[in-house]
Amino acid sequence: MFARLQVHDLHPNKSASDKIVVSLNESATQPRKQIMETTETSDALKSVNTTPHLCRSKVKQTALEIAAAIRPANKFSRVGMSFIERIEAKVRAAIREEVRIHPRVC
């Protein structure tokens, strides 16, 4: 949050106060670099499919149709990603359970 004051001998001909200003200017640029790196990482993570077992558009469309039928007074127009991820988790659990209860064939 706060820049650390460090006196460096980057410029031997400058006075101590000039060195502190240089140090402050250098430390002020560091958070920008970190923010850019975080943004690049989050953009890369966005490209990873977090719901490989679902067609998101169909899930959203179905959820909105059901919401309109069940709650006609509420005009839902969006489906959150957390909802889709919960549906994905339930699909994975259902697949896991079906595999678990399937009889063995030897």
> What pLDDT, on a 0 to 100 scale, did the predictor assign at position 53?
85
| Of 60 and 106, the one with more pLDDT | 60
Q: Are 81 and 61 in contact (CB under 8 A)?
A: no
Reported as a single tens digit per residue, the pLDDT across 18-58 is 555 554 445 555 555 555 555 555 566 566 878 888 889 99
How much is the pTM? Answer: 0.52
| Of 55 and 7, the one with more pLDDT | 55
Q: Are 77 and 64 in contact (CB under 8 A)?
A: yes
